[in-house]
């Protein structure tokens, strides 16, 4: 349906203006340029705009009361300058969901605020994200998500869940933040910001006061990202808490692989995990790197616990962690577990100029305390306050 028959064209900017919820629903399959002219209050009966490939400028107005993702698929669309409030979404089919969109394929998303919204998933293998279920080949900038809740009503696992996106593929995220959120979703991969990432870059982004909980079936859980493959993170942060039963758990990322890289980032996350846990990364593998980063918070791991990394492995190619710090207590809650102040389990010597400071590592039941994270050498050992002040600054 042509836009000319439904919308008024603004004389100065030439864009079509949307004033009502009734007009908003006619965005389906449109490719033109639109701008909001008023706040939009959606009704419970309105579904998603299934396909949109045009441009929508929210002009600072608010869209309220959505009962489904605003958009199904955004195909090379440009969405900007809008606030979305009080959305209540229930995923009752096998599709993905996000407050803005189920899927973003190409295009740009900029200057979006999402406030006091909720996603409930009731079908296994769903993908859920605060902004979008899945984003591929896209640019996402200046995003604020506050008061988000993502939860499940099924015992079987979802596929991926994140405070910003469930799955990120070959996309760029810059200056995106999640504040005061609870992700209590039984998923294979869960993260405070990203459930699973495959390629792309994430810069100057973070989560604050975000709790992530995942029970049975979970594989990777992270304060910022669950499973990160071939992705680059720079100047990112995670504040919050994690509680998991079966997952590989990290304060910043659960698993970093396929030449992934993290630099100048930190995690202030308390972790309670029944399996493998690291204050910053659960496992680093496949020629990945972490540079100039910090891990704070207490780490409780059932089998293996490390103040910075749960496992540093050498699968396919060695990894490196350089100029990084672990500053927290570490506990293995199993009598047969392993607890070290920097790396819980070291499968190759990939630590360079890294240190553990404060706290201690304890194995419950054996009353053992390790004063150094691993017994192989000086790197990763304890340092004094004076030495700490001389460590490379993390900005």
* pLDDT score of 44: 66
Angstrom distance (rounded) from CA 330 to CA 341: 6
CATH number of 219-395: 2.160.20.110
* pLDDT score of 385: 46
**Interior CA angle at 373 toward 368 and 375, to 5°?**
90
Does the pLDDT of residue 191 top 80, yes or no?
yes
Q: Are strands 108-115 and 78-85 parallel, antiparallel or unpaired?
A: parallel
Does the pLDDT of residue 3 top 80, yes or no?
no
Q: What are phi and psi of 3, to 5 degrees?
A: -65, -30
What is the domain partition of the chain in residue ranges? 1-165+175-189, 219-395
> Which tens digit of pLDDT belongs to each residue from 45-84?
677 899 999 999 999 999 999 988 999 999 999 999 999 9
Q: What are phi and psi of 385, to 5 degrees?
A: -60, -40
> Which tens digit of pLDDT belongs to each residue from 11-31?
456 688 999 998 898 899 999
**CA-based R_g, the chain, Å:** 22
Over range 273-300, report the average pLDDT. Answer: 92
* pLDDT score of 364: 61
* pLDDT score of 360: 62
Query: Please, are residues 105 and 139 in contact by the beta-carbon 8 Å criterion?
Result: no
Q: Across all residues in the chain, what is the average pLDDT?
A: 85
Over range 107-118, report the average pLDDT. Answer: 97
Identify which has the larger pLDDT, 384 or 331. 331
Mean pLDDT is lowest, of 284-288, 352-356, 363-367, for 363-367
Angstrom distance (rounded) from CA 158 to CA 120: 11
* pLDDT score of 301: 83
Does the pLDDT of residue 293 top 80, yes or no?
yes
Over range 348-377, report the average pLDDT. Answer: 58
Identify which has the larger pLDDT, 359 or 330. 330
* pLDDT score of 93: 72
Angstrom distance (rounded) from CA 192 to CA 326: 21
CA torsion angle for 102, 105, 107, 111 (degrees, to 10)?
30
- What is the 3-state secondary structure of the chain? CCHHHCCEECCCCCCEEECCHHHHHHHCCCCCEEEECCCEECCCCCCCEEEECCEEECCCCEEECCCCCCEEEEECCEEEEEEEECCEEEECCCCCEECCEEEEECCEEEEEEEECCEEEECCCCCEEECCEEEEECCEEEEEEEECCEEEECCCCCEEEEECCEEEEECCEEEEEEEEEEEEECCEEEEECCEEEEECCEEECCEEEEEEEEECCCCCEEECCEEEEECCEEECCEEEEEEEECCCEEECCEEEEECCCEEECCEEEEEEEECCEEECCEEEECCCCEEECCEEECCEEECCEEECCEEEECCCCCCCEEECCEEECCEEECCCCCEEECCEEEECCCCEECCEECCCCEEECCCCEEECCCCCCCCCCCECCHHHHHCCCCCC
Over range 248-261, report the average pLDDT. Answer: 95
* pLDDT score of 6: 65
Over range 85-97, report the average pLDDT. Answer: 85
387 confidence band (pLDDT: 50, 70, 90): very low
């Amino acid at each position: 349906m042509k836009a000319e028959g439904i919308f008024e064209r603004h004389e100065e900017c030439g864009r079509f203006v949307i004033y009502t919820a009734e007009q908003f629903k006619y965005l389906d399959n449109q490719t033109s340029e639109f701008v909001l002219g008023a706040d939009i209050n959606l009704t419970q009966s309105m579904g998603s705009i299934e396909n949109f490939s045009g441009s929508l400028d929210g002009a600072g107005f608010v869209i309220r009361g959505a009962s489904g993702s605003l958009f199904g698929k955004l195909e090379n669309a440009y969405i900007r300058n809008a606030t979305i409030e009080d959305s209540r979404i229930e995923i009752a089919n096998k599709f993905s969901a996000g407050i803005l969109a189920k899927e973003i394929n190409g295009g740009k998303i900029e200057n979006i605020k999402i406030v006091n919204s909720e996603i409930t998933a009731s079908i296994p293998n769903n993908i859920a994200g605060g902004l979008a279920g899945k984003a591929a080949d896209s640019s996402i900038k200046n995003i604020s998500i506050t008061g988000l809740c993502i939860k499940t009503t099924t015992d079987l696992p979802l596929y991926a869940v994140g405070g910003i996106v469930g799955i990120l593929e070959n996309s760029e995220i810059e200056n995106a933040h999640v504040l005061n959120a609870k992700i209590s979703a039984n998923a294979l991969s869960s993260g405070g910001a990203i459930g699973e990432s495959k390629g792309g870059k994430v810069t100057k982004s973070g989560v604050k006061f975000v709790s992530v909980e995942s029970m049975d079936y979970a594989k990777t859980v992270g304060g910022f990202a669950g499973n990160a493959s071939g992705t680059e993170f720079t100047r990112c942060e995670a504040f919050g808490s994690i509680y998991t039963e079966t997952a590989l758990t990290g304060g910043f990322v659960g698993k970093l692989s396929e030449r992934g890289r993290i630099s100048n980032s930190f995690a202030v996350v308390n972790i309670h995990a029944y399996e493998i846990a690291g204050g910053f990364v659960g496992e680093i593998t496949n020629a990945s790197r972490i540079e100039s980063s910090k891990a704070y918070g207490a780490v409780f791991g059932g089998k293996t616990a490390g103040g910075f990394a749960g496992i540093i492995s050498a699968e396919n190619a060695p990894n490196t962690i350089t100029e990084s710090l672990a500053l927290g207590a570490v506990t293995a809650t199993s009598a047969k577990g392993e607890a070290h102040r920097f790396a819980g389990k070291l499968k190759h010597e990939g630590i360079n100029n890294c240190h553990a400071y404060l706290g201690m590592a304890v194995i419950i039941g054996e009353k053992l305390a390790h004063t150094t994270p691993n017994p192989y050498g000086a790197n990763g050992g304890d340092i004094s306050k004076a030495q700490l002040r001389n460590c490379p600054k993390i900005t």
